[in-house]
Amino acid sequence: MQLGLRLPGFLGRDGEPAAQRLISWPSLWRGGVAALAIIFLLSTQFLFQLELYEVWPLPDILHGWLDHFLDLSIVGGCIFAAFTSAAPLRVRGSAAKHLLALASIALGALAGEVLLMVRIPVPPDISAAGMLFAKVARWMVVGGLAYAIYTYLRRTAHAASQAHESGLQRVQLERQMTEARLQALRAQIEPHFLFNTLANVHRLYQTDPGLGRKMLANFVAYLRAALPQMRRDETTLKQEVELAHAYLNVLQVRMGERLRFRLDVPNDLGALPFPPLALSTLTENAIKHGLNPLPEGGSIEIAARVEKFQLKVEVSDTGAGLRQNSGSGAGLANLRARLAALYGEMASLAIEANAPRGIRATITVPIRTVSG
């Protein structure tokens, strides 16, 4: 493996300044403490020489231990200095990086042991080179193990942060997915209504052109109200109520006496923001699952009020009621997900039985200004 050394200060491969790769003070501090702990551990070997206790008094042994600890600290300090100055160097490939780390440990150990030999010369009958080799080899093993632990810990932390990042992205993606699915569902409701209405208009123009014209006009009014809504995240309550009104007008032509409705929305609440098509979803549900199954039809009432700084909008019908309310689950679940995405815990959708019959659905959203 070729060592491709680069001096700090050059730009790295990925273009970021190499200065960012220099060791930060906290990690330098932590590394120093860890190195000191290992040196302390190694120095305790002195205390495990039982034969000393027979010859030396305890204070001398403790003094010898301190001496030994200082010796080890000199070498350990050299290794630490060599390692920390080699760490910011940029090399190609992880093998070269490990090699560089081990080489820096060996060099530091060699320098430290040579310093020690200058301090206390080796007896002439012992090979100094052999002693140096043995001691450096020992430091290499200790340093190599410590480096392996350090590398694994760093990689684990890196992987953990990546996993965290990935989890965050997933949550965002799922939120967007809810939006996209809701859009798809919204678009699925549209064509049904569209198709049925136009088929009605077509038929009416042949039997009762006046009524057909009225229905077509109502439907165009509905589309005029619905068009801007379909592309927004938030509209006002007034726009939503107008949309529901236009929708009910279209159906009124088709259903005649079977549909009666009443809107009870105070004018001063009109400017409050409201999630788009939320009211339409509830109104469509009330028609589709409440009134349509009944031959005699029923009535729908839309009411809005403010309670405890919350806007409550109710859609109640006198239709078939909860037990036959099958098939609307997906629409309501999507509406719930949408409310949660827009307002979190602060918004809710409650479905309950209406007296004497039918369903009352209530949307509660927090009050905010339109710009907010």
> What whole-number distance in Å separates Cα of residue 369 and Cα of residue 236?
10
Which residue, 31 or 366, is less far from other proteins as judged by CB? 31
> What whole-number distance in Å separates Cα of residue 314 and Cα of residue 67?
84
294: tokens are: 């009944």
Q: Residue 148 — φ and ψ, nearest 5°? A: -65, -45
CB of 18 to other proteins, least distance (A): 26
Q: Using an 8 Å Cβ cutoff, are 65 and 52 in contact?
A: no
Give, as ranges, the residues between 294 and 353 that touch other proteins (CB under 8 A): 330
Determine the 3-state secondary structure of 2 from DSSP: coil
56 is an interface residue for other proteins by CB under 8 A: no
CB of 217 to other proteins, least distance (A): 7
DSSP state of 18: G
CB of 195 to other proteins, least distance (A): 5
CB neighbour class for 115 (10 Å; exposed up to 12, middle 13-18, buried from 19):
middle
181 is an interface residue for other proteins by CB under 8 A: yes
Which residue, 276 or 321, is less far from other proteins as judged by CB? 276
Which residue, 219 or 274, is less far from other proteins as judged by CB? 219
- Name which position in 6, 92, 98, 135 contacts other proteins (CB under 8 A): 135
Give, as ranges, the residues between 136 and 165 that touch other proteins (CB under 8 A): 137-138, 141-142, 145-146, 148-149, 152-153, 155-156, 159-160, 162-163
From the list 105-113, 192-200, 285-293, 321-329, the region that binds other proteins by CB under 8 A is 192-200
Which residue, 192 or 305, is less far from other proteins as judged by CB? 192
Radius of gyration of the chain (CA): 40
166 is an interface residue for other proteins by CB under 8 A: yes
- Name which position in 109, 201, 278, 279 contacts other proteins (CB under 8 A): 201
101: tokens are: 């780390």
> What whole-number distance in Å separates Cα of residue 317 and Cα of residue 336?
20
CB of 144 to other proteins, least distance (A): 9
Determine the 3-state secondary structure of 169 from DSSP: helix
36 is an interface residue for other proteins by CB under 8 A: no
DSSP sequence for 117-138: HHHSPPPTTS-HHHHHHHHHHH
33 is an interface residue for other proteins by CB under 8 A: no
134 is an interface residue for other proteins by CB under 8 A: yes
Which residue, 170 or 262, is less far from other proteins as judged by CB? 170
185 is an interface residue for other proteins by CB under 8 A: yes
269 is an interface residue for other proteins by CB under 8 A: no
1 is an interface residue for other proteins by CB under 8 A: no
CB of 38 to other proteins, least distance (A): 8
CB neighbour class for 237 (10 Å; exposed up to 12, middle 13-18, buried from 19):
buried
CB neighbour class for 168 (10 Å; exposed up to 12, middle 13-18, buried from 19):
exposed
- Name which position in 21, 205, 252, 303 contacts other proteins (CB under 8 A): 205
202 is an interface residue for other proteins by CB under 8 A: yes
30 is an interface residue for other proteins by CB under 8 A: no
> What whole-number distance in Å separates Cα of residue 27 and Cα of residue 115?
27
- Name which position in 24, 44, 85, 94 contacts other proteins (CB under 8 A): 44
Which residue, 36 or 223, is less far from other proteins as judged by CB? 223
213 is an interface residue for other proteins by CB under 8 A: yes
Distance (Å) of CA 311 to CA 132, 214, 305, 339: 82, 34, 6, 13
From the list 37-45, 237-245, 270-278, 314-322, the region that binds other proteins by CB under 8 A is 37-45
Q: Using an 8 Å Cβ cutoff, are 358 and 321 in contact?
A: yes
120 is an interface residue for other proteins by CB under 8 A: no
187 is an interface residue for other proteins by CB under 8 A: yes
Q: Using an 8 Å Cβ cutoff, are 78 and 115 in contact?
A: yes
Q: For residue 8, say if its preceding peptide bond is cis, omega within 30 degrees of 0.
A: no
Sign of the torsion angle spanned by Cα atoms 11, 13, 15, 20: negative
27 is an interface residue for other proteins by CB under 8 A: no
